[in-house]
Structure 1
Amino acid sequence: MTTVTGPGHTPNGHGAGLPPVPSIPLTEETARDVAGEQSVGGLIKAVMTQVSVLLRAEIELAKLELKAEAKKVVSGSVFFIAALTILMFSLFFLFFAIAELLADLGLYRSAAFGIVWGVMLIGAGVLGFLGYRKVRKLRAPQRTIETIKDTAAALSHPGEHS
């Protein structure tokens, strides 16, 4: 078995920082190798070893790809979080302006600010209730769980069909 590394990885260990991934060598078997393992058990063992290595390599590749994508998401989301923070702080001035507008229309200043505060509380309550309803609908990924169980059963009992 050999190792495959990510793009930009060099033999001296410098590269993209990706760890080596096990792989199946793509070389022809020699006559001596074939003659040494003529039994069916030996062939099944070799196939199962190669399938196991292949699955581990695929899982490792998926992990590496997801990790790289997660880093992109995190770095991009920093800008969205900063924008949202500025927006949230600017809402204070909007609500203050609305309260001052109500005060200019003839309401007592305290009543104007109380009305704005009440509207904000009602809005927060409605949004909280809608969020609760959405979160309450979350379920486990049943199809994914079933396919993983089926795959594990098929790999643990090769040759049996369901």
Structure 2
Amino acid sequence: MSMGQNEDEPTVGQLVANASRDLSSLVRSELELAKTELKKTAVAAGTGAGMFGAAAFLALLAIILLSIAAAYGVSALGLHPALSFLIVAVVYLLIGAGLVFAGLRLMKKVKAPQRTIDSSKESVEALKSIGKGD
């Protein structure tokens, strides 16, 4: 019996080819699985976004109807309907103006990330000095 290779055992080249083929098949299978999962996720995300959009639209309609109801409620106090609708509109404008001013105050508080800017400048200077050989 020789120390050589047995005919039943595959060669190293065959083993490498088999491993390469199996790895390639595994990668293709994983990619197909990922595609399938992403399609399902994308469909669910799209459906969810559509439902949020529909809910926002219905909320907008409800606000309009509640505004009309509020105007007719003010009208029931004895005011002319045109004046009642004007009062409701002015209330909305005041709320909107308040939101604008609150938003402006918050926007004025926004500052640049000064520590990050300083750190970046220091990094650039350090790289420049390394480039000069200092």
TM-score normalized by the length of structure 2:
0.53
- Give the structure 2 partner of residue 100 of structure 1: 72
- Give the structure 1 partner of residue 8 of structure 2: none
Structure 2 distance, partners of 1:80, 1:138, is: 34
1:157 partner SS: helix
Residue 121 (structure 1) aligned with residue 93 (structure 2): yes
Structure 1 distance, partners of 2:51, 2:120, is: 35
- Give the structure 2 partner of residue 136 of structure 1: 108
Deviations 1:34-55 (A, max 9, x none): xxxxxxxxxxxxxxxxxxxxxx
Q: By percentage of residues, which structure has more helix?
A: 2
Deviations 1:3-23 (A, max 9, x none): xxxxxxx59xx687xxxxxxx
Q: Which has the larger radius of gyration?
A: 2
Residue 155 (structure 1) aligned with residue 124 (structure 2): no
Give 1:117 shift. 1.0
Letter of the 1:140 counterpart: A
Structure 2 distance, partners of 1:141, 1:85, is: 38
Higher RCO (Cα < 8 Å, 6 or more apart)? 1
1:90 partner SS: helix
Deviations 1:104-155 (A, max 9, x none): 2322211211111111111111111111222222222111111112222223
1:155–1:79 CA distance, 2 compared to 1 (3 A): farther
Aligned residues: percent identity? 31
Compare 77-86 and 130-139 and name the one that shifted more: 77-86
1:120 partner SS: helix
- Give the structure 2 partner of residue 37 of structure 1: none
Give 1:79 shift. 6.2
- Structure 1 runs (4+) greater than 4 angstroms displaced: 77-81
Q: Which stretches in structure 1 are left out of the alignment for 5+ residues? A: 1-9, 17-73
Structure 2 distance, partners of 1:153, 1:85, is: 53
Structure 1 distance, partners of 2:112, 2:56, is: 30
Residue 87 (structure 1) aligned with residue 59 (structure 2): yes
| Aligned-residue RMSD, C-alpha | 3.8
TM-score normalized by the length of structure 1:
0.45
- Give the structure 2 partner of residue 112 of structure 1: 84
1:140 partner SS: coil
Q: Which stretches in structure 2 are left out of the alignment for 5+ residues? A: 1-26, 35-44
